[in-house]
Amino acid sequence: MIKKIPYGRQSIDEDEIAEVVKVLKSDFLTQGPKVSEFESNFAHAVGAKYAVAVSSGTAALHLSCLALELSAGSRVLTTPITFSATANCVQYCVGEVDFVDIDPSTYLMDLDLLEKKIKSKPSGYYTGIIIVDFTGLPVNTEKLNRIAAEHNIWIIEDACHAPGAGYKDSNDTEILCGSSTYSDLTCFSFHPVKHIACGEGGMITTNDENVYQKLKSLRTHGITKEDLSKSDGGWYYEMQDLGFNYRIPDINCALGISQLKKLKNNIEKRRQIANTYFNAFNDNDSIKLQTQPKDYQNAYHLFVIEVDNRKELYDFLLSKNILAQIHYIPVHLMPYYAKKGFKKGDFPLAENYYEKCISLPIFPTLSKAEQSYIIETISDFYK
């Protein structure tokens, strides 16, 4: 039988291993030159002014909330179809999360429902929005920005699925995820299952210099040595804010720099795999595919389909050594959030999607033979 096929997998080449070994032999395992090299390469790749590398995507989200001065009791809206970390970062700041249901064809937050929800409350009720480019499909941040600006609400874009993704805005300008053209900040993850594997790691991009300086300070305990009004000597520094140790090692950044160079190629491979799935399942009435709006470039971190007997399909695939996954169990139904009063029925479109969704294997080294085997196995199941 074919060996196990996971839903996602990193690919590390020999030249990338060599880059990591170089760092291991150098003076700096952390806080060395590879961090800023990774940051400037990443900022350049996504078209943002500033990038700050951190220890994880979760750390990126937490620091973003802090940099935007999310305070206790502030209300922030997000989507229920995401990884819990998207909502948890609000709780870390003792804010309050609420959700907006999804568009049942793209699975992204429904921006019309968002606008309705904001308008149903007094002005200033909501402080921020954390939007998710789920599967790698970009949210229409131009439209989102118009809604948010009208109500004085900030935007964090969780683009953990979407480095290299983009869309054309109403001026026909290509908007890259991470350019933060229409968001205050954008967050990325470098967990091995994501596009760029660092082991663990994350990145925040922004065009706001103030926010950038805050992020750099908060990443390392809120400590600074620059522009101080006094000095007791060469050793002098000040801890000005309550920050964290969210630093990323140079070892991880060396890997990140080489992985970033392969991003374009790898996304091209992901798109080919996605196209093969689309062609295979387009005419299959048992399978519903995610709508890909015109002029949107999905980075395809995930390839999700909706089916009726999802559990049976999941178990059948598992028995055939295909390890599909489910993305995601709606966040509001997690026991931690249920304890806050959220319940089944609150976001019916997200819940209905969850009953049917299943993520099929997609990663750059998935072979043609493996993909054919996956497609045949699924087609057999629905015969």
Residues that bind ligand PLP (CB under 6 A): 56-58, 82-83, 85-86, 132, 158, 160-161, 189, 191, 202
The residue (of 188 and 281) whose beta carbon lies closer to ligand PLP is 188
Note whether 99 and 260 are within 8 A (CB).
no
The residue (of 83 and 342) whose beta carbon lies closer to ligand PLP is 83
The residue (of 192 and 238) whose beta carbon lies closer to ligand PLP is 192
Kindly state the smallest distance separating residue 132's Cβ from ligand PLP, in Å. Answer: 5
Cα separation of the two ends of the chain: 21
Kindly state the smallest distance separating residue 176's Cβ from ligand PLP, in Å. Answer: 18
Note whether 111 and 147 are within 8 A (CB).
yes
Kindly state the smallest distance separating residue 135's Cβ from ligand PLP, in Å. Answer: 10
The residue (of 39 and 287) whose beta carbon lies closer to ligand PLP is 39
Name the residue with the smallest CB distance to ligand PLP: 57
Kindly state the smallest distance separating residue 304's Cβ from ligand PLP, in Å. Answer: 13
d(CA 270, CA 277): 11
Kindly state the smallest distance separating residue 99's Cβ from ligand PLP, in Å. Answer: 14
103, 135, 162, 215, 330 from 153: Cα distances, Å: 21, 25, 23, 20, 24
Give the SS3 label for residue 129: strand
Burial bucket for residue 245 (CB in 10 Å: 0-12, 13-18, 19+): exposed
Kindly state the smallest distance separating residue 139's Cβ from ligand PLP, in Å. Answer: 12
The residue (of 158 and 184) whose beta carbon lies closer to ligand PLP is 158
The residue (of 10 and 82) whose beta carbon lies closer to ligand PLP is 82
* Torsion region of 329: left, alpha or beta (phi above 0 gives left; psi -120 to 50 gives alpha): beta
